[in-house]
Amino acid sequence: MIIPLLTAGIFCSLYAFKNNPSAGRQIHPPTTDPDNAGLKLPSGFGALVVADSIGKARHLVVTKEGNLYVKLAKPVKEKGIIYLKDKNGDGRMDEQSGFGNYGGTGLYLKDGVLYASSNDEVFSYQLDEKNEVSNQNNPSKLITKLKKGRQHDTKSIVLDNSGNIYVNIGAYSNSCQEKDRTPGSPGMKGCPILDSAGGIWQFKANKLNQSYGDGIRYATGIRNVVGLDWNQQNNTLFVMQHGRDQLNGLWPDLYDEKKSALLPAECLYMLKKGDNAGWPYIYYDQYQKKNIQAPEYGGDGKKEGSKEYINPALAFPGHLAPNGLLFYTGNQFPEKYRNGAFIAFHGSWNRTPEKQEGFYVVFAPFKDGQPTGEWEIFADGFAGTDNVMSPRDAKHRPCGLAQGPDGSLYVTDDVKGTVYRILYNGK
Amino acid sequence: MKKLLLTALLVLPLAFFAQAQKTNKAISSPAAARDQILEGKKVYSKFCASCHQLDGGGVPNLNPPLSKTTYVLGDKSRLIKIILNGSNESLEIDGETYSNPMPQLDILKDQEIADVLTYIRNSFGNKATAVTSPEVKAQRSKKK
């Protein structure tokens, strides 16, 4: 009796030592839920719900104490950023507070500063030595007056290691048609949306009240991005684009419903300053493995696009709506996961009459800062059903991703406001 | 008259619209309405379902539902105008707003619009009077 207990004790402390050097209270990894919170995971992984019903939970960050900040798309009781604490160390959040009376998506933590975005501004909050926000009502306004259309209005944010912050400004259009989403309407010549949207802008992370004049259009021709991350291995920005919709609905003579459900690819782009990913003039066809001229700009489904546009680093099936991107740098998961990308797919709406797809978290391995080309579904079952005909059938939809100090993976859901934590407990 | 009574019973709040329709000679017979629903379903699959979904439930935050909304069940001319003009103004539908634009679908013929509107007014849990081609035509000519 004593021996197994002792062994367990040694194992636990070893485990804590190896994987959890900075967490103070929480020594044991938390117990996972009996059904792994309803998720299907690779063997050796388990999951638990750490918080529930907090609102439309978008991006999140984890402090080194293991506490969470979660950005809500819409404030709940005038709180748009939720702060969750685990007081008794069981891994489940048991104290909730909040601040920031604005909805939004973007949240990022770097060097003791919390960055958060509304749909047209970016703020920063100084954190104290416990990684808590003391100036809750007086954040610094870093960036203001960003273009906010009705579509693709969220602003995702990430920092590099040289004091810059990158902001996605989504195109307020599907494919820059003269009449948006109207069958047969041609594309606008020299799409004017690209002047102030449809790209990633770079600003200084410590300068107040910046707007377009103070930043640079870092990369353009990107329809809309929600998931983005900085790759520390090759010191480069990666983003997941939401590709265009409605190829069949708008151009029925060129695309049937089946093709339209699959095309175009959802693309992972590695972005360097000055890159142009080609929206709205081209889209990426993952079957022909080429940039194809958009039908709004004279394309016929085959004609190749101009060579000036970059190719994706990796291409996924159409319409899955990637909302979270995270490079895994932890030690808890097995070796193959190190430095690879997790991508949270919110799930499609534009595959009708086919069933909707997505609603899962994917893993794509990387080597030396480049994807190997493979990818697999890592966590599935968020929707609670295999047959999602309309996105409203999905009980949960993955959105944000974050890595805990012990290497656990956190996933938010913006339907019910559930926060999941995924752990590796295999050997 | 029997149809009128039925409609009034089924959809009491709409009785007034039904009354107004009595003067419109073009009101369709039950058999014709059934055809309209069949034809309307085809138009719906091609031009509406990608956004409003096959079950009319819409897509949260993007495209509104068409089940029991005031636009679908209410004033027919307002409904016809949404198809003829489109809408991109964050309509508040049962307390929610939706970020996609509703495209202007005036490329559809009068009869197609009448059919698709009759279909949505009698699907997804809705029950309301048919929309006729002359009603669509009247709105279209007002527009010009």
B94 touches chain A (CB under 8 A): no
| 3-class SS letters over A10-60 | HHHHHHHHHHCCCCCCCCCCCCCCCCHHHCECCCCEEEEEEECCCCCEEEE
Would you tell me which residues 27-46 of chain B have a C-beta closer than 8 angstroms to some C-beta of chain A? 45-46
Closest CB to A391: pick one of B46, B59, B90: B59
* Confidence bin at A216 (pLDDT 50/70/90): very high
Q: What is the reported pLDDT for B22?
A: 38
Average pLDDT value for chain B: 83
Interchain CB distance below 8 Å, B103 and A184: no
pLDDT, tens digit (0-9, with 9 covering 90-100), for A88-106 = 889 999 999 999 999 999 9
**For chain B, how many structural domains are there in total?**
1
Instruction: Tell me the C-alpha distance between A182 and B107, whole Å.
Output: 9
User: Is A180's CB within 8 Å of B103's CB?
Assistant: yes
| CA of A412 vs chain B CAs: smallest distance (Å) | 17
The domain that holds B63 is classified in CATH as 1.10.760.10
Q: Tell me: the pLDDT tens digits for A3-23?
A: 444 344 434 333 433 344 444
Confidence of residue A427 (pLDDT cuts 50, 70, 90): low
Q: Given a cut of 70, is residue B13 above it in pLDDT?
A: no
Average pLDDT score over residue span B57-84: 96
Output the pLDDT for position B17.
41
Q: How many helices (H) and strands (E) does chain B have?
A: 8, 0
So what's the pLDDT on residue A27?
55
Where along chain A do its domains lie? 2-424
> What number is the average pLDDT over the span A325-342?
97
State the average pLDDT over residues A157-170.
98
Length in residues, chain A: 427
What pLDDT is attached to residue B95? Answer: 87
Task: Judge: A150–B100 Cβ closer than 8 Å, yes or no.
Answer: yes
Neighboring chain B residues of A346 at a CB cutoff of 8 Å: none
Contact B50 A350 (CB under 8 A): yes
Share of chain A above pLDDT 90, in %: 91
- Nearest C-alpha neighbor of A344 from the set A369, A364, A330: A364
Per CATH, which fold does A2-424 belong to? Answer: Neuraminidase (2.120.10)
A235-263 mean pLDDT: 97
Of B45, B99, B107, the CB nearest to A183: B107
A236, A301, A331, A344 from A339: Cα distances, Å: 13, 36, 10, 16
Per-residue pLDDT tens over the stretch A415-425 = 999 999 999 99
Q: Is the pLDDT of residue A161 over 50?
A: yes
Residue B92, pLDDT above cutoff 70? yes
Which residue of A lies nearest to B88 if distances are taken between CA atoms?
A: A150
Higher pLDDT, B5 or A275: A275
Q: How far is it, in rounded angstroms, from Cα A72 to Cα A79?
A: 8
- Orientation of helix B110-121 relative to helix B133-143, angle to 10°: 120
Q: What is the pLDDT of residue B142?
A: 86
* pLDDT at residue number B144: 60
Q: How confident is the model at residue B29 (pLDDT cuts 50, 70, 90)?
A: low
In the predicted structure, residue B18 carries a pLDDT above the cut 70: no
Residue B12's domain comprises: 2-143
- Decide if pLDDT at B16 tops 50: no
Region A186-207: mean pLDDT is 98
B95 CB within 8 Å of a chain A CB: no
ipTM of the complex: 0.86
**What residues contact A373, with CB distance under 8 A and at least 6 apart?**
A314
What integer pLDDT is reported at residue A28 of this predicted model? 76
Asked if B106 has any chain A CB less than 8 Å from its own CB, the reply is no
pLDDT at A195 over 50: yes
Q: Give the percent of chain A with pLDDT over 70.
A: 93
Both structure tokens of B81: 């105008």
How far is the CA of A260 from the CAs of A68, A91, A311, A316, B7, in angstroms? 39, 43, 21, 14, 40
